[in-house]
Every structure is written in C-alpha cells, then in structure tokens.
Structure 1
Amino acid sequence: MKTDAVVFGWDVGGAHIKVSMVTASGELLDIAQWACPLWQGLGYLEQVIDHVLDRWPLAREAGARHVVTMTGEMVDLFADRAQGVRVLVDTLAQRLGPSTRFFAGAAGWLAANECADGWCDVASANWLATAQWVASRVSDALLVDIGSTTTDIVPIVAGRVVARGCNDATRLVSGELVYQGVVRTPLCGVSHRIVFRGEQVNVMNEWFATTADVYRLTGELWPAHDQHASADNGPKTEAASRARIARMIGHDARDAGEHEWREFAQTWRSEQMQILAANLARVMEAHPALARAPLVGAGCGRFLVEALAQREGRGFIDFSELVDAPNASLDLPEWMATCAPSVAVALLSLHGVREPTVAWFHSTAAS
C-alpha cells in the first residue's frame, strides 16, 4: 500500500494515545490505544511513537500523512497550556514529519510552525473533532463521550455543533465537560458520602480506589481498556477491587461478602450516573430541539451512555455505526468508539466539512 493511500489520525491525551489508520476513501483499517502517563515525562510519548511506527511501517515513511488532535497539553509536566501545545507539536512534527497537520477547529488545519500562535485553537480540541464528524452524519443528537477520565457532552442541532463552551474552562462552566470517567476517576471524586448497609457514610478523601474498581466488579469494564495501574499498584482483580472500595469507607474486604461488595459497586455506579445525568440535563436545557434527540455514545464508558439513553427513553447510536469499516474484526467497533477523536480527525482531514459545523451558542453561563 502506498503512503498516500492512508492517513493516520492521532489523539494525544494526557493518559492515553490513540491512533487510527484510515484509507483515502474513508475506510477504517486499524486502530490502537496505548497508555501514556504524559505527566511523568515526554519519554512516554516517545515510546508510544515508537510503538506506532513499529505497528504500521507505512507511518514512518516520508510521504505518510499524519493529523493530530490533543488534550495532553493540560498535564502538569508543562508550565501552562501554551507551552504544552508547543512541546507536543514540536515533538510530534519532529518524529512524524513536517507535513503533520494539527486540528484547530474553526481555524482549520495548522502546520507545526503555525501552532505557537494558534495554540488556543489546538488545545483540547479532540471533543470538537468527534462532534464535527457526528454532526456530518446525524442532524440532531447529543454526543456523550465517556472515557477513562472525563466525559464530553456536546449538543448537535441541524447538523451543527452548538456547544456553549469553546475550551476546557468554559465547558466546565456549561456542563459540557465533566471530570468523570470509568477508569482513572478516584472514588472520592464521585461522592463524599455514600450509602452502605442502609446508612450514609462519609467517604475517605484518599486515592484508595478508582472507578476501574467499580466497573471491574459490575463486569462492565472491558479488560483491554484497563491500562493504568490501580490506586495501590496492586492486582486488577475482583478480590483486589473489593479490598480497595472497602478501604474507601474504613472497611476491609473480609467485613462483607462478595455479593455485598458487588452491590456497593452498583451504588457507586448510581452516584456517577446521577452526576452524568445532571450535566446532561444542564446541556439539554439550553437546546429544546434536542428534547427527544438520540444519544451518540463514544468512549470506553459508553455503556453508561446507553444506560442513560434507556433511562430517559431516548435512542442510542454507537459512534462505530457512523464509520465505514466493512472488513472490521469483531473488536474493531469497540476500538472505533473508544478512540473516536482519532478516527474523527482522520476522517475530517479526508472529507472535510462542506460548510462550517460549529455555531457557538453564546450564554452568560459560559462567557
């Protein structure tokens, strides 16, 4: 296969890097995700780049096409977001080649030497890449991408992204960005009080357990998505997860049976669902046209999106249904939805958008 026959879409996050390989006709061929604790050093990014180039030799050739979106500039390895964008852009362009382009939303596709001035358009724009692709396929929808760490809730009306927020700060105000995920979120960030054996119990504000422990016990976390160390660096087993969630309320695993700890995990799940549902309601409130719109689910936690859709009597569309992959293996749709921004940025670079699909919804709440 020639290098100009494919494009590689990159989503460079602070905890994972996701890369997709798409043909020039828009067919997804392959996709992969690597854990990348970027806050611990740029060496982890370099290692992942090595893995990508080993997996797809075409990616290292001079004519290879690479397009990038990112959120990794937010990690505290960098003094600020502008420096983060500059360092990530320089590292990627040096390794992938000067023709690498960076997704900048309404500002288009930037070359590496344009990103220093346009850093604010490049920073944390991966949600917008996904939303623009969805908007080109579904006229009215609420995109809900639940990942390992965060949740994006993006309204789409009449084929246009109508988000109130345009960056992390304003999206946190509007409820369109929620720091809740299904792997890395510490349980003390889900609730400060929780019911156990019929009583409200204070939760320890310690990083004793994460949501990965909860969804291991509910059986909903796919093992391939469980790529980061546990809170205590211990085993990622049900027994170890029981011990960790017990510790959150001052207990040991032996203080209750397996069934009771599984029920307790369901209680944590319900707490997180309430947070997500409340923010979904906030986003919907500004857009009456979406009262009955379907939820488009993306991310490794989209099982919760489907549950939200069922609870609200809405339709549910898996992001993978919006991507052309006729020869997909059994697990490729799972990875398509999990790595949605990397797929979207590749497809947008090929197909473009016939007309602008972003219409910022001005609101005092997000200004």
Structure 2
Amino acid sequence: MEKRKTIVAGFDIGGAHLKVTRAESGRIVDAVTIATPLWQGLDTLTAGLREAEPVYSGADVRAFTMTGELADVFPSREAGVAGLLERISAQFPGGEKLIYAGRSGFVGMNEAAGLANDIASANWHATAALVARLVGEALFVDMGSTTTDLIPVRGGAVANRGYSDAERLLSGELVYTGFTRTFLFGVASSAPVRGQITPLMNEYFASMADAHRMLGVLDESDDKHASADGQAKTVTGSMARLARMVGRDAADLEPAEWQTIARWFSEKQLRLVHDAAFRAAGGLADDAPIVGAGTGRWQLRRLAERMERRFVDFADLIPADDAARGEASSAAPATAVALLAGNAR
C-alpha cells in the first residue's frame, strides 16, 4: 500500500496580503497570494481564507506566521497577535496548528498566547532560517510589495542583529520599501524633469507599481491592490499618475521622458536597499551569494550585480513543482513555514 503523503499548509497573514502554500511530502505543489487589506476590517482575512481554501484543504498540519498585527485595525501589536490567533482558532477549530514564534520556534496555540513579542512580524525569520539550512552562508533579501528584509545567514544559522521591527529598522535589516505598494515620495523627494530637479507633490498620486509597469518589469499578477486613482493599470494610466507627482499632465512630456523619470524612481529605491545591504552583508564571505525572494526579485538581481555577488533565486532553492516555484517565492514566508513545519514533525 502506498504511504499517504503528509500535507502541510503554510500561511503568512500580512496586513495587505494573505499568502498560502501547500507542501506535500516536503515539496511545494501550490501557492497563492490574495489581497487582504486588514485596515478595512478582519472580514477581508476571512474572505481571503475562503478564497485560498483549495490550497490548504485536507492539510494534516497548518503552520502560521504573521505581520498583520501591525494593521491599524488593532490598537497594539500584542492586541494584533491576539486578534489574529483568535481568527485562526475560529477558522480552523480542529486539526494541528503551529504558530511560528521566530527565535522560539514553532509553538502550539496555547503557548502562542504568551509569546506575542516573538510571534509579531517574525515571517522574515522563518524564510531566513530555511535559507540558512539550504545555503549555509548568504545575504538573504526578500522584497515584497511593501517592505524589504535583508538578513545575513552564516554557519547554517540566522545571523540577524535586530529582532523586533524597531531593532531591524535601526540595524538596516528592514527597509520600508516594496516593489508595488510603496508611494513614490517614499523613495525620493524630487525627480528630474527635462534637466530640472523638480520637488514632488507629497500626495499618493502614484506607486512603485506604476514606475515598474512603465519599465516593463512588473508582473501584473503581483499588483493586487487598486491603483492610486482607481483607474486602469496600464502604461498610459501609470504615466498619468506619475505626471501628477511633478504637477503635470501626461501630454506635457514624451512617453520616453516619462519612462526616464520612472527609471529614476526605481533607481532611487535600489539605492535605499543597496545602502542597507552593505551594512547587512558586513562579515559575510566575499563569495557568499545574495538569495532573493519576493515579488521584487528583478530589483534584487540588480542589487546582486551592483554588489558583485552571485544571485540565487529562492525559487530555485526550494523543493517545488515547476508550476508553483514563482508563486512560492513571492509567498516566501508561507513557503518557509510549510517546509520547516514539515521537517519539524
């Protein structure tokens, strides 16, 4: 008789997205990312879990990590962790549930209630721990829609300096910039327009998704939230939104000129990440690669070139079906807890 496959579902509950992966006998076979803007209410999470059900259906174990406790629907991080744990219990009343508590490892629901500080925003630790096992020494960088994590791994272990969000902001291991959702004025305060440095309008007129769409490097499936003006996610629409940032209309400049300005914003973002990467990579061997994950892997390949380090795609490291590799890398923390929980059993 054929031995039954062990099925582990991994969940990363973020403030903007829910990421879910499915591992069967230690191999990722499915993955999905769903927009769940928690600031609009926890019903968005309930709806997201319902939509993701085909991915986690029939799982023997469900493993969770989170950053959604940061959503302003909660009065504090501790309250956010408690609230999300309550939702997990309500959504999955039966079956084995594991919560990733970072430096404390996986814990059960009862123990999790007293480990809010370890559980809060520990998804980066899960992915870095998996990379440490797979590579040994590297600079692990995960650029998602909103943030970028830069974590050194050394000797097969996570070698972070900071742990909490506050500590990681100080250490440079957390940079609040992402490939799609970041506002343009979050990466620059001005932009060159026909040879003149023009201050930006500090309004949410456009996002990094617009800049990367105009450069032709955005996978539209990664941009899961509405555009700044609610209008079409097209190059023409992005051009109109970008023009507002410098007080103009799209017709004021040629399309090639707007593309140059879009390239400026992408470059400014890369410089932010590059500065942090220099700090995070201190002490790593010269031949240690950059392992890149998340929707912003295009940007991270450029980072590796700039740092003269080999680039390794997280998607190519993990045991996964080819059809699921790309989405599994975009949902890296969910992939990590699924694989780590399977190995821990």
Gaps of 5+ in 1: 354-367
Contact 2:32 2:55 in 1 (8 A): no
Normalised by the length of structure 1, the TM-score is: 0.90
Deviation at 1:54, TM superposition (A): 4.5
Contact 2:11 2:21 in 1 (8 A): yes
Deviation at 1:195, TM superposition (A): 1.7
Q: 1:311 aligns with which of 301, 306, 324?
A: 306
Amino acid across the alignment from 2:314 = F
Q: Give the stretch that moved more between structures: 343-352 or 122-131.
A: 343-352
Q: How has the CA–CA distance of structure 1 residues 43 and 164 changed in structure 2, closer, same or farther, with 3 Å as cutoff?
A: same
- The aligned residue for residue 45 of structure 1 is 45
Report SS of the residue matched to 1:269.
helix
Calculate the aligned-residue CA RMSD, in Å.
1.7
Report SS of the residue matched to 1:273.
helix
In the aligned structure 1, how far is the partner of 2:213 from the partner of 2:13?
Answer: 26
In the aligned structure 2, how far is the partner of 1:346 from the partner of 1:112?
Answer: 17
Gaps of 5+ in 2: none
Report SS of the residue matched to 1:165.
coil
1:250-285 deviation line (CA, Å, top 9, x unaligned): 01100011111111111111111111111111222x
Q: In the alignment, does 2:332 pair up with 1:340?
A: yes
Deviation at 1:100, TM superposition (A): 1.3
Matches within 5 A, 1:273-352: 273-284=270-281, 287-325=282-320, 327-329=321-323, 332-352=324-344
Q: Size of the alignment, in residue pairs?
A: 343
In the aligned structure 1, how far is the partner of 2:143 from the partner of 2:4?
Answer: 33
Contact 1:188 1:203 in 2 (8 A): yes
Contact 1:11 1:341 in 2 (8 A): yes
- The aligned residue for residue 235 of structure 2 is 238
Q: In the alignment, does 2:102 pair up with 1:117?
A: no
Between the aligned residues of both structures, percent identity stands at: 41
Q: Give the stretch that moved more between structures: 193-202 or 241-250.
A: 193-202
Report SS of the residue matched to 2:52.
helix
1:63-118 deviation line (CA, Å, top 9, x unaligned): x3100000000010000000000010110122123531100022122222222211
Contact 1:207 1:231 in 2 (8 A): yes
In the aligned structure 1, how far is the partner of 2:23 from the partner of 2:46?
Answer: 22
Q: 1:108 aligns with which of 105, 109, 114?
A: 105
In the aligned structure 2, how far is the partner of 1:100 from the partner of 1:4?
Answer: 18
Normalised by the length of structure 2, the TM-score is: 0.96
Runs of 4+ with deviation above 4 angstroms: 1-4
Contact 1:142 1:290 in 2 (8 A): no
1:175-206 deviation line (CA, Å, top 9, x unaligned): 00000001110011111122222221111111
In the aligned structure 1, how far is the partner of 2:50 from the partner of 2:83?
Answer: 18
1:135-174 deviation line (CA, Å, top 9, x unaligned): 0011110001000000000001121111110111100000
Amino acid across the alignment from 2:339 = L
Deviation at 1:351, TM superposition (A): 1.3
Q: In the alignment, does 2:64 pair up with 1:71?
A: no
Amino acid across the alignment from 1:275 = L
In the aligned structure 2, how far is the partner of 1:290 from the partner of 1:131?
Answer: 17
Report SS of the residue matched to 1:289.
coil
Contact 1:90 1:112 in 2 (8 A): no
